[in-house]
A = this chain, B = another copy of it.
Amino acid sequence: MVGGGQLARMTHEAGIPLGIRFRLLSGAPQDSAALVAHDVVVGDHRDLGTLREFARGCDVITFDHEHVPTEHLRALEADGVAVRPGPDALVHAQDKGVMRARLDGIGVPCPRHRVVRDPADTAAFAQEISSPGGDGPDGGTGSGTSVAGSGEGSGTAAQVPADGAFPVPVVLKTVRGGYDGKGVWVVRSRDEAAEPFKAGVPVLAEEKVDFARELAACVVRSPHGQAVAYPVVESVQVGGVCDTVIAPAPGLPGEEAVRAQELALRIADELGVVGHMAVELFETHDGRVLVNELAMRPHNSGHWTQDGAVTSQFANHLRAVLDLPLGDPRPRARWTVMANVLGGDYPDMYSAYRHCMARDPRLKIHMYGKDVKPGRKVGHVNTYGDDLDDVRERAAHAAGYLRGTITE
């Protein structure tokens, strides 16, 4: 597995009972997964020579992140390395522009979007999506949600007020490299739109969807085409970072859940995904879903499966990339809640860790072995049971106590 973060750490953990010999390419010897894996290569995942040397002797290579350059993955495939997911699939999780174009092409509902050149072009995009003659916000019909460029952005920019304020807010994203809210901006004027272009990389503009909540549909697919779908979950974000995941999503009608699962399975099939894929969704106030992001690896929205499903996302990711039969994705409890543990002001969590174990003997703690820094994901907790209020309270209390925001 390329990448030494907590996803690799937990994938190694899941591979032990499967009898899998796990080799890790880690950026540093103190990375989360490097602390617990036996066979650790320290090296740069952006260097093709390093990747080639690493892949020698591996049956399959897979990833803890999306940051390996697509051209390197193609070179490895050309060498005969089994790269899973392969570059033709993974590029859709690496490049948001490619992802949006492809999802449009297969009729998957997305927020309206187009690649924009500069603040003026962004202003034009804002005008286009607010125009009463065009599709209004949330007016996507499930296909062809891309907004055609307006030729010269400055041509339509004249329609916006002199202070550069947009008629509707716009979400700008760098097409590559963003995660956990990084590389994402919500802008309301030409002035605010300046920042995202400073890095000189392509920028995607999207409508800011007035969603009711965020959901995630996670699926796992094998090279031979077997696929399983986990229950659709609700993902609660705070400051652009996943805070809590509730499995299954409370109050989601069964037929809507099945539609979201089918959508994720269809995307996995159309894109040729191998391994775990999380499809992050916006649920609109009228019960439709729009695809927000794709991640082709184990994902934060699937951490609940470690304690809440028959087979965890990590075990199923390994089974998929090794083309083994997949495990049962069904839940083991009526409700499972995952809460992320973020670093707080105190670097030493030990006392809080002991407190949480003593307070709740059923609590499932998952620590990543990382140094604590404010706001950094350093672990998560899972709770499960029949009473959702109780299960949520236990998870939120433990995560808050570990962070230091709850002290009693």
Q: Which residue of B lies closest to A319 (CB)?
A: B357
**CB of A326 within 8 A of chain B?**
yes
**CB of A358 within 8 A of chain B?**
yes
Docked Cα-Cα span, A366 to B13, in Å, equals: 12
Stretch from A35-43, A123-131, A184-192 forming part of the interface with B = A35-43
**CB of A403 within 8 A of chain B?**
no
Nearest chain B CB to A385 CB, angstrom units: 10
Stretch from A18-26, A147-155, A282-290 forming part of the interface with B = A18-26
Which residues of B lie under 8 Å from residue A365 when comparing CB positions?
A: 17-19
Which residues of B lie under 8 Å from residue A366 when comparing CB positions?
A: 17
Query: Which residues of A314-364 are within 8 A (CB) of B?
Result: 319, 324-328, 332, 353-354, 357-358, 361-362, 364
A13 is contacted by which of B16, B21, B362 (Cβ under 8 Å)? Answer: B16
A9 is contacted by which of B16, B34, B353 (Cβ under 8 Å)? Answer: B16
Task: Determine if B369 and A19 form an interchain contact, defined as CB atoms under 8 angstroms apart.
Answer: yes
**CB of A367 within 8 A of chain B?**
yes
Q: Which residue of B lies closest to A368 (CB)?
A: B19
Which residues of B lie under 8 Å from residue A36 when comparing CB positions?
A: 12, 16, 22, 37-38
Query: Which residues of A28-52 are within 8 A (CB) of B?
Result: 34-38, 40
How many copies of this kind of chain does the complex include? 2
Docked Cα-Cα span, A18 to B10, in Å, equals: 12
Nearest chain B CB to A402 CB, angstrom units: 11
Task: Determine if B38 and A37 form an interchain contact, defined as CB atoms under 8 angstroms apart.
Answer: yes
A19 is contacted by which of B358, B361, B379 (Cβ under 8 Å)? Answer: B379
Which residues of B lie under 8 Å from residue A38 when comparing CB positions?
A: 34-38, 40
Q: Which residue of B lies closest to A363 (CB)?
A: B327
A367 is contacted by which of B10, B19, B358 (Cβ under 8 Å)? Answer: B19
Query: Among the interface residues A9, A326, A364, which one has the most CB atoms of the partner chain B within 10 A?
Result: A364
Task: Determine if A326 and B361 form an interchain contact, defined as CB atoms under 8 angstroms apart.
Answer: yes
**CB of A406 within 8 A of chain B?**
no
Docked Cα-Cα span, A319 to B362, in Å, equals: 13
Task: Determine if A17 and B327 form an interchain contact, defined as CB atoms under 8 angstroms apart.
Answer: no
A325 is contacted by which of B34, B37, B358, B379 (Cβ under 8 Å)? Answer: B358
Task: Determine if B16 and A310 form an interchain contact, defined as CB atoms under 8 angstroms apart.
Answer: no
**CB of A311 within 8 A of chain B?**
yes
Task: Determine if A17 and B367 form an interchain contact, defined as CB atoms under 8 angstroms apart.
Answer: yes
Which residues of B lie under 8 Å from residue A40 when comparing CB positions?
A: 38
Docked Cα-Cα span, A365 to B332, in Å, equals: 17
Task: Determine if B325 and A361 form an interchain contact, defined as CB atoms under 8 angstroms apart.
Answer: yes
Q: Which residue of B lies closest to A228 (CB)?
A: B361
Task: Determine if A21 and B326 form an interchain contact, defined as CB atoms under 8 angstroms apart.
Answer: no
Which residues of B lie under 8 Å from residue A37 when comparing CB positions?
A: 36, 38
Which residues of B lie under 8 Å from residue A327 when comparing CB positions?
A: 357, 361-362
Q: Which residue of B lies closest to A22 (CB)?
A: B36
Q: What are the interface flags for A289-314 relative to B under an 8 Å C-beta threshold, 1 for contact and 0 otherwise?
A: 00000000000000000100011000
Nearest chain B CB to A377 CB, angstrom units: 13
Nearest chain B CB to A82 CB, angstrom units: 16
Contacts A/B (CB < 8 Å), 6 sampled: A13-B13, A16-B36, A21-B369, A311-B361, A326-B357, A327-B362
